[in-house]
Amino acid sequence: REVTRSSSDMAVEMLSFDNPVFAAYAFYAAILIVKMIFVQLWTGVQRNKHSEPAYSEDVSLYKVGKDWKMPSKENENVERVRRNLLNDLENIPTFLILSLIYILTGPTPSIAFWHFRIFTVGRIAHTISYLMALQPLRSIAFAVGFASYISVTAQIILRALSV
């Protein structure tokens, strides 16, 4: 008697660390999340360094020994880091969700690894160039990561159309 596996069993198998594509996804997802945490913390460092609180009620909390201003969006250092985080929030979570769907398409491991690597390296280079105000490197880094984003999306669409 032949035992057939259900689709849900296969999906669970694909989303386990026994699947090298999922293991690679988890690794690169963790790197991207750590990178975002760094940018979040760096935002606080820049706010503290430049006495730029996020909210007016923060002025009284942190006023010890400093001349804190009321919140503004005029400090380029603080705004640069904050905008970098917003850009991450626009791109990284969507890529991570799409990549989970991509894993379920059963991609060739080496191709999937390159998608994850390229996106991750692109986002790290984007952050470095954003924080250091390096153009055109920032745009190039964004485009590199975005190309991987588009490729993963195209693979999902092509797989869905082939069913």
| pLDDT reported for residue 6 | 67
| pLDDT reported for residue 5 | 65
At residue 113, φ and ψ (nearest 5 deg) are: -55, -45
With a cut of 60, say whether residue 1 has pLDDT above it: no
Residue 142 and residue 122 in contact, taking contact as beta carbons nearer than 8 Å? yes
Residue type, 143: A
Q: What would the pLDDT profile of 113-124 be if each residue is shown by its tens digit?
A: 999 999 999 999
With a cut of 90, say whether residue 91 has pLDDT above it: yes
With a cut of 60, say whether residue 8 has pLDDT above it: yes
Q: What would the pLDDT profile of 16-43 be if each residue is shown by its tens digit?
A: 788 999 999 999 999 999 999 999 999 8
Q: What would the pLDDT profile of 135-152 be if each residue is shown by its tens digit?
A: 999 999 999 999 999 999
Q: Following CA atoms 142, 144, 148, 154 in sequence, which dihedral angle do they give, to the nearest 10 degrees?
A: 90
Q: Which two tokens stand for residue 101?
A: 């769907």
Q: Which two tokens stand for residue 121?
A: 């390296």
| pLDDT reported for residue 154 | 96
Would you list the DSSP string of 106-145?
---HHHHHHHHHHHHHHHHHHHHHHHTT-TTHHHHHHHHH
What's the maximum distance between 2 C-alpha atoms anywhere in the chain? 79
- Read off the pTM: 0.84
Mean pLDDT estimate for the chain: 87
Output the CA–CA distances (angstroms, integers) from residue 126 to 8, 27, 30, 68, 118, in the order listed.
37, 19, 17, 31, 12
